[in-house]
A and B are shown apart, each in its own frame.
Chain A
């Protein structure tokens, strides 16, 4: 037992040296997660802060000027053109100069004063309909607040109904708040899986795996010796992203570190299991790389990172049960933002444990039997 432990420790030491001794591979392991977290933390946002728009104001009244002043003063909209004719609308949209064109008809103020509904036409560039939809939502909110102020200022009755909304766990509805914690799982997944698959494949390709097999190492010991270094590196990567989230992006951490790392540990175990199972079927580094990629791609797309899971048809939702990343993201977001404890994490931890169990025992079997 002790001898076995010592052997495993020696193998772990050798693996860590193999990964960390080359400065280039050291850099590719520790730099990208932090850099990507910084870049994507800023880039991966559905929030808009700089919406270019053009105006076709046919009313030129106090009311239309007030509405436009509200848009200009919102800090979100930037006016890029004042159009004179409706025929000019097509050009500014086609050439992507403006995302929106706001058209105010010539009886806008008169209709407002008469207590009728006055039309504001908004034309949006739908080439990215998600961005356009968000921008239209912003316009709507500004028009609602314009209506309330205008009615009050002109002695009309305020709208009889007020709507107030509040968001749980993310009061200002910033995409960054849910994106950055999700990156803790996403960025570590790829490297953990790849590192594991590659370390076995490299030994295969260079012929050292056969040498390892004639040493006193048992196949399971080799497997553990390959798994633990990847998990250590995965944990370091996850911690560095966690630090960026808190120190750089200042997203408040609501949960407990123990809960978070318990969940992440199980996730890393599942990821390493997938990597080991993969490594037992590949013979070259190229195959290890390409197959890892073929796996990670659907894992990422079906994880809820950029596209919500609830929009998917039921078959795909069932498929995502086998996706460790889906649960890692859920754990990271819920522990980070909602501060929930282990007692409520069961639905996330169970599938991860099952994936880890199946892949690790599958890999162990393959290590014992499948290696030709």
Chain B
């Protein structure tokens, strides 16, 4: 008796999975999200997006024509970080900045050489603050370029040596300071969220809106079987997206992969289960495609981008926002991905984060099961 009913259940699930897979493959919009979107995102993240600052357009205003001043300007012209335009008119430079043709001005005043020999010289840096992050990086680089020039003079004995602390820095896990190293793991989070939550949030609500869910009441199919059949095709699609991302990370962008594939697959499965469960839960609870997609967007996708630590540092956020981030699965997945990709299998990071994801998956799947019932509202 039991084996018979079990095989019947298996046949029912297989039939529903097949129907769901057909629906997925035949609707061009699902393909757009499930296949075209990941490829598009990989290309954008790989080739268009970069937080590295290079060849910043700046103007160096030389109001002083002394050799010292032109030497300083040459430092900017030769630096790979700047595309410097040398001018003698501050007004011209300000005009360029107003038009946003340049992002910064380095001003060397007319009494520079004289005050330099008196030990009171002054160089002014002006940056356009409408992108604060970039402005700060430009300021740091400009100070670096001026500092290098000053060091050179000291080394050549043209300026007196002073005792000063000098900072030497080392960036672990990302020695070359390449922003792709953290953008690409972040990209995986976005794609997994998109496929896991956004596609599934529509499927349950669609069946409710069209009345096909009620039609299933009269079939022997059980609720658990329906849920399972909704998850399997999207799970497969999600894993496909993951494989695509890993291949792109390795071969297209040469991001190092220092952990093990098995651990990555394990934690990704957990995150995908959490996303699928959120999508189905919201979908079953709202029974409306518009409302469920809006809710899913607000609780999964936007937080995955803004509150996960993928772009913005979580430790610097106010307490309330940080507490919110603790209930969002994306933050644990980002921590896992950044560690597995760049640092390796560090178990003291993997266990707690993977544990949280597993806990969330269990709770959300149980909640989805509880909310979805074969009964008329």
| A interface residue numbers (CB < 8 A to B) | 24-25, 28, 32, 35-36, 39-40, 42-52, 67, 93-96, 99, 108, 111-134, 136-137, 139-140, 143-144, 146-147, 150-151, 154, 156-171, 173-175, 177-178, 190, 198, 202, 282, 284-287, 289-291, 293-294, 297-298, 301-302, 304, 306-308, 310-313, 316, 333-334, 337-338, 344
Contact = CB atoms under 8 A, between A and B. Distances in A.
Contacts of A163: 122-125, 143, 146
B332 interface: no
Interface string B69-100: 00000000000000000000000000001100
A28 B291 CA distance: 7
Contacts of B132: 46-47, 167, 170, 173-175, 177-178
Interface of B: 27-30, 32-33, 36-37, 40-41, 44-45, 47-54, 56-57, 97-98, 103, 116, 119-137, 139-140, 142-143, 146, 150, 159-175, 177-179, 181-182, 198-199, 202, 206, 209, 286, 288-291, 293-295, 297-298, 302, 305-307, 309-313, 315-318, 320-321, 324-325, 335, 338-339, 342-343, 346, 348-349
Nearest to A121: B168
A328 B37 CA distance: 24
A118 B173 contact: no
In the A-B complex, the 5 residue pairs with the closest CB atoms: A170-B129, A126-B174, A167-B129, A165-B125, A46-B133
Contact of A165 (B45, B50, B139, B179): B139
10 contacts: A44-B311, A50-B316, A123-B169, A126-B181, A128-B313, A137-B136, A151-B164, A164-B123, A287-B29, A310-B56
B167 A143 contact: yes
A158 B129 contact: no
A28 B290 contact: yes
Contacts of A25: 288, 290-291
Contacts of A125: 172-173
Contacts, number: 343
A160 B179 contact: no
Contacts of B53: 311
Given A50-B315, A121-B168, A289-B202, A127 B342 contact: yes
B313 A48 contact: yes
Contacts of A302: 44, 48
B313 A24 contact: no
A126 B173 contact: yes
A48 to B, nearest CB: 5
A261 B343 CA distance: 48
Contacts of B126: 165-168
Contacts of A161: 116, 121-123, 146, 150
